[in-house]
Amino acid sequence: MDKWLQDFAYRIDISWWIFVVAGVTAIFIALFTISFQAIKAAIANPVKSLRTE
């Protein structure tokens, strides 16, 4: 595969830290979203939601 990739005219080298930054960013967004939804559900009035059902 490395030999096949060497045939391309335009190549770039991707550092390992780019993958780390992308992974940490994805985890941060997931934790933020889950935390936001959990806090929103904890603050909500259960009587109000039961009335609508």
**Digits of tens for pLDDT over the chain (53 positions)?**
888 888 888 888 889 999 999 999 999 999 999 999 999 999 988 887 777 76
Does residue 3 lie in a domain region?
Answer: no
Exposure letters 30-53 (e unless 16+ CB within 10 A, then b): eeeeeeeeeeeeeeeeeeeeeeee
Does residue 9 lie in a domain region?
Answer: no
Does residue 47 lie in a domain region?
Answer: yes
Does residue 1 lie in a domain region?
Answer: no
Measured CA to CA, the distance from residue 33 to residue 27 in angstroms comes to 10
* Structural domain containing residue 43: 17-53
Indicate the number of domains in the chain.
1
pTM score? 0.65
Whether the CA torsion 26, 30, 35, 40 is positive or negative: it is positive
